[in-house]
C-alpha cells in the first residue's frame, strides 16, 4: 500500500501535479529538462519552407524519449499550432514567432485537449494513476519534494486549465490561440452547439478595452458584453465583461450569472484576482461549470499564499490540478527576459545633503543607461529595447513628514532634488566628480560602497564632470540653461 504524506501547507510551485503529469508525457519532470539550452535558441523560432516549426524538428529528434507522445501526434499538434498562428497573424506585418515557452504552452494544450475530447474517462484514469504515484513516498519515478497530498481528480475538474506565466510573456496571444484550439477540438470531436458563449472575464474596464483592441488585431470577432446582445448570433463573438458585472441578480450595471447558463468557454484574465474572495470566484466558476475555462495569471503563487488555513489548502488543491505550465517570473528572469534590479540599502539619514548626493548617484546611473541606449541604437532596435525609464517608488503620494523642522514627502523630495541639481551647478558638479572618482562616500548598511563599479561606461567614454553635468541637463531635463528654477506649487 502506498504511503501517503500528511496534509500540510506548501508553496503552490511545489504541488503542481498537472504540470508534472504533462511534462511526464515527454519523459521529464521539469521544464528545464525538456527545454534545454539548445531548444531555447532563437534559431528555432519561426517556420521552415513547409510551414512547420523549427521547434517541431528539434522535438522529433528527441521523440524516442517521449513515453506519452507519438511522432504522429507531434506532427498533428504542430500543424494545428501553425494554422492557428497564421490565423491570428493575418492582420499583422509578420507571422508571430513563438518563444520556446509559448510553443510548449500551446503544445501542452494540444495534448490535453486531444485527450479531453477523445477519451475523458481515460484522461481521468491516467491523471489519477499519476496522482497515486505522486503521493506515494516509495515511488521515485515521480519525485515529490513537498509534503502536500493531492486529492484524486474528479471528472468535473477536468474542464479547466490555468497558465502561470510571467507578466510580459505573451499571455494574451496564447489566449487567442487557446480559443482557436478549443474550437478546433470541439468541432472535431464534440458538439459545437453545446457551447453557449465565449466569455472573457477581466478585472476592470481598462483591461476589457485593451483586450477588445487586441482581439481585433488577431482577427477574432469580439465585443463588449451587453445585456441587449444575444439571440441568433450568440456565441459567434467573444464577449468581454468585468468580473464586477456578475451578480446574483441583474441590476442597472450587473447581470445575473444564471443568464449566461453554464456551458460557456470562459477565459479569465488576471486569474489571481478574486481568488481569495469566495463570491467572485464562485460566480466566474459557474460560467464554465459544464463548459471549459482557461485561466491566466502571473501571480497564482502569491494569490494562493495570501489565503489562510483551509482556504489556502483548498486553493492549492485546485490549482495544483489546473496549472498546465509554470513559466512564472523565476523562469522568465533566468531566461533573460526580466528586469535586472539592485536594492541599495543605505543607513537611515535625514540629512538633505546626504540624500541629494545619493539621488545624484541614481541620476548618474540613469544618465549612463540613456547614453548606452542612444549610442547603441543598432543593438537597441535589434532587440526591441525602448528608451530607459526612471521610476520613483515612494511609501505614499500624499504622506507628509517633518525633517529638520520642514514638512516634506517622498514626492517633494524628488522635486526638491531636481530643483537643487539644476539650480546649484557647483555642488552638482562636485558630486558628479566624486562619483566618477569613486570618492562619493555613499555606503550601505554593511559599510560597502553602494556605487562602486557602476559607472564603467562613463569611464570608458572619458567624460569629465562638467561635460557630464551639461549633458544631463540636455538629455534628462531637456534644457541648456544652468541654474533654471523649478517652481513648486
pLDDT of 414 strictly over 90: no
The residue ranking higher by pLDDT, 232 or 411, is 411
Q: How does strand 198-202 pair with strand 238-242?
A: parallel
Question: For position 407, what pLDDT does the model report?
Answer: 61
The CATH superfamily holding the domain 12-334 is P-loop containing nucleotide triphosphate hydrolases (3.40.50.300)
Share of the chain above pLDDT 90, in %: 55
Q: Which residues contact 161 (CB under 8 A, 6 or more apart)?
A: 109, 112, 293, 294, 295, 322, 324
pLDDT at 287 over 70: yes
The pLDDT score that the predictor gives to residue 397 is 57
Q: What is the pLDDT of residue 234?
A: 56
Predicted confidence at residue 465, as pLDDT, reads 83
Mean pLDDT of 388-411: 67
Pairing of strands 265-268, 292-297: parallel
Widest CA span of the chain, in angstroms?
A: 81
pLDDT tens by residue, 339-383:
777 777 666 656 788 889 999 999 999 999 999 998 888 888 777
The pLDDT tens digits for 114-147 are 999 999 999 999 999 999 999 988 887 887 777 7
Give the helix, strand, coil percentages of the chain, each rounded to 5: 50, 10, 40
Residue keyed to cell 569611464:
459
- Identify the pLDDT of residue 416: 85
The pLDDT of residue 282 is above 90: no
Distance CA 193, CA 310 (A): 39
Name the band, by pLDDT with cuts 50, 70 and 90, for residue 395.
low
Output b/e per residue, 332-370; b: 16+ Cβ within 10 A: beebeebeeeeeeeeeeeeebeebbbbbbbbbbbbbbeb
Decide: 166 and 174 in contact? Cβ < 8 Å: no
Residue ranges of domains in the chain: 12-334, 352-475
* Residue 202 confidence (pLDDT) above 80: yes
Secondary element (H or E) of residue 57: helix 54-62
For the segment 99-124, the average pLDDT, to the nearest whole number, is 98
Does the pLDDT at position 259 exceed 80? yes
Q: Which of 218, 208, 204 is nearest to 174 (CA)?
A: 218
215-218, Cβ contacts within 8 angstroms, sequence gap of 24 or more: 215/176, 216/91, 217/91, 217/92, 218/87, 218/88, 218/91, 218/173, 218/176
Q: Which residue shows C-alpha cell 485537449?
A: 113
Q: Model confidence at 272, in pLDDT bands (50, 70, 90)? A: low
Distant-in-sequence, close-in-space partners of 456: CB < 8 Å, separation ≥ 6 = none
> 25-34, 51-60, 197-206, 272-281: which has the minimum mean pLDDT?
272-281
> Which of 141-145, 162-166, 424-428 is predicted least confidently?
141-145
Q: Which of 198, 201, 242, 203 is nearest to 220 (CA)?
A: 198
**Mean per-residue pLDDT of the chain:** 87
Average pLDDT over residues 410-439: 89
**pLDDT, greater one: 277 or 226:** 226
71-87 helix and 171-189 helix, angle to the nearest 10 degrees: 120
Give tens-digit pLDDT for 304-347: 988 888 889 999 999 999 999 999 999 999 998 877 777 776 66
Residue listed under C-alpha cell 497564421: 86
Bridge partners of residue 398, in order along the sequence: none
Residue 120 grid coordinates:
475523458
Q: Are 373 and 387 contacting, i.e. CB atoms less than 8 angstroms apart?
A: yes
Helices (H), 88-204: 100-118, 120-135, 171-189
pLDDT for 271 equals 60
pTM of the model: 0.81
Residue predicted with more confidence, 28 or 484: 28
Amino acid at each position: 500500500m502506498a504511503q501517503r504524506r500528511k496534509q500540510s501547507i506548501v508553496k503552490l510551485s511545489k504541488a503542481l501535479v498537472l504540470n508534472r503529469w504533462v511534462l511526464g508525457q515527454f519523459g521529464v519532470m521539469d521544464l528545464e529538462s525538456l527545454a534545454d539550452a539548445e531548444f531555447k535558441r532563437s534559431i528555432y523560432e519561426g517556420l521552415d519552407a513547409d510551414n512547420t516549426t523549427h521547434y517541431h524538428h528539434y522535438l522529433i529528434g528527441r521523440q524516442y524519449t517521449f513515453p506519452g507522445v507519438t511522432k504522429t501526434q507531434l506532427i498533428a499538434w504542430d500543424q494545428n499550432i501553425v494554422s492557428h498562428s497564421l490565423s491570428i497573424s493575418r492582420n499583422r506585418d509578420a507571422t508571430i514567432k513563438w518563444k520556446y515557452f509559448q510553443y510548449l504552452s500551446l503544445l501542452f494544450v494540444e495534448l490535453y485537449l486531444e485527450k479531453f475530447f477523445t477519451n475523458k474517462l481515460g484522461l481521468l484514469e491516467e491523471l489519477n494513476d499519476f496522482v497515486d504515484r505522486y503521493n506515494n513516498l516509495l515511488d521515485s519515478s515521480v519525485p515529490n519534494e513537498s509534503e502536500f497530498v493531492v486529492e484524486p481528480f474528479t471528472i468535473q475538474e477536468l474542464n479547466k486549465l490555468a497558465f502561470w506565466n510571467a507578466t510580459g510573456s505573451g499571455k494574451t496571444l496564447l489566449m487567442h490561440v487557446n480559443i482557436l484550439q478549443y474550437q478546433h477540438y470541439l468541432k472535431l470531436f464534440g458538439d459545437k452547439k453545446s457551447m453557449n458563449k465565449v466569455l472573457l472575464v477581466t478585472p476592470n474596464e481598462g483591461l476589457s478595452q485593451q483586450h477588445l483592441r487586441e482581439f481585433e488585431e488577431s482577427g477574432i470577432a469580439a465585443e463588449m458584453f451587453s445585456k441587449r446582445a444575444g439571440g441568433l448570433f450568440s456565441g459567434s463573438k467573444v464577449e468581454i465583461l468585468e468580473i464586477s458585472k456578475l451578480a446574483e441578480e441583474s441590476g442597472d450595471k450587473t447581470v445575473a450569472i444564471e443568464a449566461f447558463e453554464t456551458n460557456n468557454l470562459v477565459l479569465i484574465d488576471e486569474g489571481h484576482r478574486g481568488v481569495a474572495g469566495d463570491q467572485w470566484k464562485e460566480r466566474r466558476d459557474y460560467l464554465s461549470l459544464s463548459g471549459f475555462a482557461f485561466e491566466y495569471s502571473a501571480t497564482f503563487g502569491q494569490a494562493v499564499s495570501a489565503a489562510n488555513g483551509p482556504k489556502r489548502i483548498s486553493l492549492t488543491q485546485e490549482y495544483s490540478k489546473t496549472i498546465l505550465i509554470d513559466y512564472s517570473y523565476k523562469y522568465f528572469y533566468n531566461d533573460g527576459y526580466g528586469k535586472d534590479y539592485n536594492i541599495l540599502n543605505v543607513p537611515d539619514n535625514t540629512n538633505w545633503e546626504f540624500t541629494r548626493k545619493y539621488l545624484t548617484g541614481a541620476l548618474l546611473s540613469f544618465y549612463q543607461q540613456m547614453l548606452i541606449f542612444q549610442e547603441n541604437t543598432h543593438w537597441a532596435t535589434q532587440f526591441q529595447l525602448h528608451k530607459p525609464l526612471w521610476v520613483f517608488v515612494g511609501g505614499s503620494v500624499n504622506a507628509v513628514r517633518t525633517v529638520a523642522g520642514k514638512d516634506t514627502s517622498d514626492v517633494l523630495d524628488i522635486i526638491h532634488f531636481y530643483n537643487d541639481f539644476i539650480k546649484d551647478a557647483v555642488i552638482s558638479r562636485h558630486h558628479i566628480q566624486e562619483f566618477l572618482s569613486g570618492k562619493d562616500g555613499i555606503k550601505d548598511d554593511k559599510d560597502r560602497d553602494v556605487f562602486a563599479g557602476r559607472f564603467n561606461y562613463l569611464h570608458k567614454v572619458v567624460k569629465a564632470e562638467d561635460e557630464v553635468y551639461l549633458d544631463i541637463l540636455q538629455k534628462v531635463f531637456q534644457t541648456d540653461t544652468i541654474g533654471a528654477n523649478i517652481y513648486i506649487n
